[in-house]
Amino acid sequence: MKRTVLGIEGTAWNLSAAIVNENDVIAEVTHTYVPPIGGIHPREAAQHHAKFASYVIEKVLEEAEKKGVSLSLIAGVAFSQGPGLGACLRTVATAARALSLSLGVPLIGVNHCLAHIEVGRWKTPARDPVTLYVSGANSQVLAYNMGKYRVFGETLDIGLGNALDKFARSAGLTHPGGPKIEELARKSKNYIPMPYVVKGMDLSFSGLATAATDALTKASLEDVCYSFQETAFSMVVEVTERALAHTGKKEVLLAGGVGANMRLREMLKIMCEERGASFYVPEKRFMGDNGAMIAYLGLLMLNSGNILSIENSHVNPNFRPDSVKVTWINEDELKGDT
């Protein structure tokens, strides 16, 4: 029987528990916090996670049991240790500690950003990619180099998804704004100049969100949505391309909820074709926040002896992916035949 790990994600809206082995997701149960109005309220999201933690855990165990994976086969409990909203992280960590103690199995603290990358390496043919991770709160370009995932570029203020959502709210669109902006943008080809802010390899989106809101007084919503997307996506594609050139890697992996956007995918694909690189997008269920990615990286970490003592299991809302020593990658295999 293959080793299985249970993982719990809960950095923001999504509370999700999953059980995986090295081949596949055995079971996954998600319960999402939906605010009555507006954006996320950290305390309410944490209360949601506290209320539904036992539900998602019991249900995922029940579903795994139906597939022949009983409680006694679970070899470890992994949780998102950060980055994310402190109150949400603490709630999920408490549930994970209790479960690991009651099952008598190791506890594994997973970096949420790295889990997005590893699930992509698991569920697509990408082996050693430059990853563009764009979600609500995060926007980063990462790649593996000598024992760590390095951050080649990142947002200096808000994430791209939050910038889209912020502008959408100001335009009277409901949350989440990303998909609505994408739909409206398809109806225009009229580009209005917007602030394009790439500083070195880093990005800034908050000025763009404000400029887009201001532009609504003189231009149509469709034109502004189109121009916002073209500007923001060109910025992230530029940084991704420069990371490819700098590292000499030959693959790009897209991760995070904003990765659902077809125009962003198209722009990345064109850039990759021009550079002779391969472009990979995982199935939608593995792109946004999901428990499977936490369980899977938890499994890789457990297999390489990377576990936590309860005393060292504090959460870290600013947990940087480049602070993690990567114990689960064999460099010879990476160099292999890519």
Binding to Fe ion (CB under 5 A): which residues in 82-141? 135
Establish if 161 lies at the interface with ligand ATP (CB under 6 A): yes
Is there binding between residue 289 and Fe ion (CB under 5 A)? yes
Judged by CB under 5 A, does residue 290 bind Fe ion?
Answer: no
Residue 80 to residue 106: CA distance in whole angstroms: 15
Tokens of 116: 């997005």
| Token pair recorded at residue 46 | 């944490």
What's the min distance (Å) between Cβ of 137 and ligand ATP?
A: 3
Smallest separation, CB 311 to ligand ATP (Å)? 26
| Residue ranges with strand state E in the chain | 4-9, 14-20, 25-32, 74-82, 107-111, 130-134, 139-145, 148-154, 198-199, 202-203, 251-255, 278-280
What amino acid is encoded at 225 in this protein? Answer: C
Asked if residue 165 binds ligand ATP (CB under 6 A), the reply is: yes
- Nearer to Fe ion by Cβ, of 136 and 153: the residue is 136
* Of 227 and 240, CB closest to Fe ion: 240
- Of 106 and 161, nearer to ligand ATP (C-beta) is 161
- Considering the complex, state which of residue 75 and residue 78 has its C-beta at the smaller distance from ligand ATP: 78
Axis crossing angle, helix 86-103 with helix 42-66, rounded to the nearest 10: 30
Which is nearer to Fe ion, 84 or 177 (by Cβ)?
84
Beta bridge partners of 204: none
Cα angle, residue 98 at apex, residues 95 and 104 outer, rounded to 5°: 135
Q: CB under 5 to 8 A by kind: which of Fe ion, ligand ATP, none does 12 bind?
A: ligand ATP
Q: Are 227 and 212 in contact (CB under 8 A)?
A: yes
d(CA 67, CA 50): 27
Instruction: For the segment 205-264, give every residue that binds ligand ATP (CB under 6 A).
Output: 256-258, 260-261
- Pair of tokens at residue 198: 């790439």
Partner whose footprint covers residue 136, from ligand ATP, Fe ion, none (CB < 5 to 8 Å by kind): ligand ATP
* Piece of 144-152, 154-162, 276-284, 321-329 that binds ligand ATP (CB under 6 A): 154-162
Which neighbouring-strand residues pair with 80? Answer: 110
Q: Does 115 bind ligand ATP (CB under 6 A)?
A: no
Binding segment for ligand ATP (CB under 6 A), chosen from 31-39, 143-151, 171-179, 296-304, is 171-179
> Which is it for the CA torsion 266, 235, 134, 120, positive or negative?
positive
Residue 164 touches ligand ATP, criterion: CB under 6 A: yes
Which pair of structure tokens corresponds to residue 21?
């082995």
Among 136, 153, 291, 321, binds ligand ATP (CB under 6 A): 136
Alpha helices in 171-289 (DSSP H): 177-185, 206-215, 221-247, 262-275
Q: How far apart are CA 74 and CA 86, in angstroms?
A: 27
CB of 257 to ligand ATP, least distance (A): 2
Distance CA 185, CA 187 (A): 5
Nearer to ligand ATP, 275 or 284 (CB): 284
Q: Residue 51 contacts by C-beta under 8 Å, 6 or more apart in sequence?
A: none
Site for Fe ion in 135-174 (CB under 5 A): 135
Give the residue with the Cβ less far from ligand ATP, 194 or 258: 258
Residue 139 within binding range of ligand ATP, rule CB under 6 A: no
Q: By CB under 6 A, name the binding residues for ligand ATP.
A: 11-13, 84, 135-138, 159, 161-162, 164-165, 176-179, 182, 256-258, 260-261, 288-289
Q: By CB under 5 A, name the binding residues for Fe ion.
A: 135, 289
